[in-house]
């Protein structure tokens, strides 16, 4: 199974999904750069999330808050006080380890050297705002996007006048100085989150929480994730954060085992109460019918874009034997596939064929992500497109000059059809709906 991971990592590099960060300088450990197909896949995941959670609902508003927030935010949220990991350093090789990972191990797992006592280490990246680096200018890179939504709660009430229940949704970068990053893009120090803060009446929170678990399950399955590779694990009482009433982890069966993709938590009224008390602003909601003022409870589905993309890549990776040759194909859902169509001329030295293919690609680009490629023979071109999950390949050949038809090859079935070039765009639009 670890083998699958190596294959996915190698495909990501070979085909331009994900590259090691700062590679020409020898790489920066555990940082990754998204290449041409990676950025498309990542954008498609974000688009699918935004569509399901913002556009398709009447009760959720989108947001994009600043990464550097007022430092008091992180006092109110508990991150300054509690966002710690216990770490031990190796006195020999200087590597740092999470105490939880070491358990009963007394020596450095890397070099066998002596370990220091475990010390607390805050996961937030510190920086300074303005030219003077002192305590008054101390600031943090946000370790989660959630707080940007809590601090804007009253702005949303005043500008959009929503009634409970309603929510806020945000996608953006977060930063954690993780001590044990790893497993490719699964745990990194800079990553993207997709978070929803859904505000509701306290007595409705159990039902709203359950509804969110179901909604998130449908989202992953509707995008084609294999049901046997995803599970929902409810936290036991002793696993819960002190303020949380319930939490369910969405877990994916990664090549190295089941790991968290997303957490769905019932955070009670903790966040709004904390920010009210630290800011001195009244963040209670006023119910005009019942004439009562109270702190709404919050249900938070919080997922990682990078982890989600890695899960979809691992899920879609497929090898099959075709005429004694191994065909590697990414069976990504049509909404996630980075390329929808590739237009390929069968003979690149025939000007009329190339002309038709280029014109067709340009026309298709107006309505879908389409590429033109003539950099190899047709067999190789098909193989490359299969590896990046392109839904359809359209080939223009000598016969096309006479019958004005093109061959459309489907990624999944490899079945081919001759379609009139004039009708081709409509044909593809229907297939990709």
| Contact positions vs ligand ATP (CB under 6 A) | 144, 176, 178, 187-188, 191, 193, 260-263, 302-304, 306-307
Q: 3-class SS at 49?
A: helix
For ligand ATP, give the closer residue by CB, 194 or 428.
Answer: 194
Nearest Cα to Cα of residue 412 among 312, 320, 314: 320
Residue whose structure tokens are 């959720």? 60
CB of 32 to ligand ATP, least distance (A): 10
Cβ distance to ligand ATP smaller for residue 256 or 427: 256
Query: Cβ 195 to ligand ATP, closest distance in Å?
Result: 7
Of the pair 174, 395, the CB lying nearest ligand ATP is at 174
Distance CA 266, CA 86 (A): 26
Identify which of 132, 234, 119, 141 has the alpha carbon closest to the alpha carbon of residue 193. 141
| Residue 266, strand partner residues | 246, 299
DSSP secondary structure of 180-241: S-BTTTTB-SEEEEEEEEEEE-GGGHHHHHHHHHHHHHHHHHHTT--GGGEEEEEPPGGGS-
Pick between residue 44 and residue 174 the one whose CB is nearest to ligand ATP. Answer: 174
CB of 196 to ligand ATP, least distance (A): 11
Q: How far is the CB of 213 from ligand ATP (least distance, A)?
A: 14
Distance, in Å, from the CA atom of 391 to the CA atom of 393, rounded to the nearest integer, reads 7
Smallest separation (angstroms) from ligand ATP to the CB of 308: 7
CB of 64 to ligand ATP, least distance (A): 17
- Give, as one character, the DSSP assignment of residue 23: G
- In the complex, the smallest distance separating the C-beta of residue 378 from ligand ATP, rounded to whole angstroms, is 39
Residue 263: CB minimum distance to ligand ATP, A: 4
Q: b/e string for 172-183 if b means 16 or more Cβ within 10 A?
A: bebbbbbbebeb
Specify the 3-state DSSP secondary structure of 8.
Answer: helix
Nearer to ligand ATP, 54 or 305 (CB): 305
147 versus 400: smaller Cβ distance to ligand ATP: 147
CB of 45 to ligand ATP, least distance (A): 12
The Cα–Cα gap between 377 and 397 comes to 13
Nearer to ligand ATP, 174 or 405 (CB): 174
Q: CA-based angle 161:164:168, to the nearest 5?
A: 75
Round to whole Å and give the CA distance between 342 and 16.
Answer: 16
For residue 233, the minimal CB distance to ligand ATP (Å) is: 12
Q: 322 has which bridge partners?
A: 325
In the complex, which residue's CB is closest to ligand ATP? 304
What is the spatial distance between Cα 73 and Cα 83, in angstroms, rounded to a whole number? 13
Residues 336, 337, 339: CA angle, nearest 5 degrees: 135
Cβ proximity to ligand ATP, 307 vs 409, nearer residue = 307
Residue whose CB is less far from ligand ATP, 303 or 345: 303
β-bridge mates for residue 321, sequence order: 326
From the list 432, 226, 229, 231, the residue with the least C-alpha distance to 336 is: 432
Name which of 204 and 260 has its Cβ closer to ligand ATP: 260
Tokens 């069968």 locate to 346
Residue with smaller CB distance to ligand ATP, 305 or 343: 305
Give the integer Cα–Cα distance in Å for 178 and 188: 7
To ligand ATP, the closest distance from the beta carbon of 8 in angstroms equals 16
């Amino acid at each position: 199974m670890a083998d699958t991971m190596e294959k996915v990592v190698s495909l990501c590099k070979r085909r331009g999904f994900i590259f090691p960060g700062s590679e020409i300088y020898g790489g920066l450990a555990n940082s990754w750069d998204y290449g041409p197909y990676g950025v498309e896949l990542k954008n498609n995941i974000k688009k699918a999330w935004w569509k399901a959670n913002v556009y398709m609902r009447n009760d959720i508003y989108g947001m994009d808050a600043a990464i550097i927030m007022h430092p008091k935010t992180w006092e109110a949220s508990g991150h300054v006080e509690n966002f710690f990991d216990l770490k031990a350093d190796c006195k020999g090789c200087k590597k740092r380890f999470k105490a939880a990972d070491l358990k009963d191990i007394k020596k450095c797992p890397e070099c066998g050297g002596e370990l220091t006592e475990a010390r607390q280490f805050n996961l937030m990246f510190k920086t300074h705002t303005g030219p003077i680096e002192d305590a008054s200018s101390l600031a943090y890179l946000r370790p989660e996007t959630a707080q940007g939504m809590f601090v804007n709660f009253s702005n949303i009430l005043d500008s959009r006048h929503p009634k409970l229940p309603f929510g806020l949704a945000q996608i953006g970068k977060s930063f954690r100085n993780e001590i044990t990053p790893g497993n490719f893009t699964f745990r990194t120090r800079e990553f993207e989150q997709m978070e929803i803060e859904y505000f509701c009446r306290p007595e409705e929170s159990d039902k709203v929480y359950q509804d969110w678990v179901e909604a998130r399950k449908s989202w992953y399955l509707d995008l084609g994730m294999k049901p046997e590779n995803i599970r929902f694990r409810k936290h036991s009482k002793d696993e819960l954060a002190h303020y949380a009433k319930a939490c369910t982890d969405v877990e994916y069966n990664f090549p190295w085992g089941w790991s968290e993709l997303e957490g769905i938590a019932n955070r009670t009224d903790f966040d709004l109460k904390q920010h009210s008390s630290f800011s001195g602003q009244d963040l209670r909601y006023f119910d005009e019918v019942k004439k009562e003022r109270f702190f709404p409870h919050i249900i938070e589905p919080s997922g990682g874009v990078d982890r989600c993309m890695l899960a979809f890549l691992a899920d879609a990776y497929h090898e099959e034997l075709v005429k004694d040759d191994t065909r590697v194909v990414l069976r990504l859902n049509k909404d996630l596939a980075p390329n929808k169509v590739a237009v390929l001329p069968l003979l690149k030295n025939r000007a009329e064929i190339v002309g038709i293919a280029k014109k067709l690609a340009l026309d298709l680009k107006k309505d879908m992500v389409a590429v033109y490629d003539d950099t190899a023979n047709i067999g190789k071109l098909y193989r490359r497109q299969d590896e990046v999950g392109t839904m359809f390949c359209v080939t223009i050949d000598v016969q096309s000059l006479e019958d004005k038809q093109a061959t459309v090859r489907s990624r999944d079935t490899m079945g081919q059809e001759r379609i009139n070039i004039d009708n081709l765009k409509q044909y593809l639009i229907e297939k990709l709906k």
